[in-house]
Amino acid sequence: MSDILNRLLSTRYETHSAASSPFAEGQVWRIESGQFAGTSFLIVKTEDHPFLGHAVHVSVRGPLMIEGDPVLDGIPHLPFTIDALEASDVELTGFVTDMVDDWKGMHADWEKDAQTGEAGLFSLPVEDVLTTIMVKLSAVLS
């Protein structure tokens, strides 16, 4: 019952930790439906963040398109809650041991902003976050 009340009152109630997370560094996931079906992302880091709770950092791989034209090769770093990833229509497709490091610069910027309360974790499904990013990018490019 307290979980339901906390959600209704928008109070953070962290129920996950690194030990209980189904998401692990090196996992490759694929979005299964919608506009971004077939797009993959790599779990680049998981952590119990001191201010934000359990964070799962992903790197979106592959081209992201606007009206059929590729405009981004991917997004090196996006931080999510476990609940957001669990709400996403995704499938585990593999595991890599040779991790990319192109996400570290964006992660460092995010970490600095998170410490001052200027950044957080995405709590929406991956598809929704990507849609929002691409809509805003489309408006900028128009």
Predicted local confidence at residue 19, as pLDDT:
53
Q: Which residues pair with 59 in a beta bridge?
A: 42
Reported as a pLDDT band with limits 50, 70 and 90, residue 79 is: very high
**Burial class of residue 136 (count of CB atoms within 10 Å of its CB; 0-12, 13-18, 19+):** exposed
Q: What are the b/e assignments for 99-127, b being 16+ CB within 10 Å?
A: eeeebeebbeebeeebeeeeeebbebbbb
**Average of per-residue pLDDT across 82-90:** 96
- For residue range 27-61, list pLDDT tens digits in order: 999 999 988 999 999 999 999 988 898 999 999 99
Predicted local confidence at residue 8, as pLDDT:
43
- For residue range 2-32, list pLDDT tens digits in order: 445 444 443 344 444 445 679 999 999 999 9
pTM for the whole structure: 0.83
At 142, which amino acid appears? S
Tell me how far apart the alpha carbons of residues 96 and 59 are, in angstroms, rounded to a whole number.
Answer: 13
- Please report, in angstroms and rounded to a whole number, the separation of the first and last CA atoms in the chain: 48
Tell me how far apart the alpha carbons of residues 64 and 42 are, in angstroms, rounded to a whole number.
Answer: 15
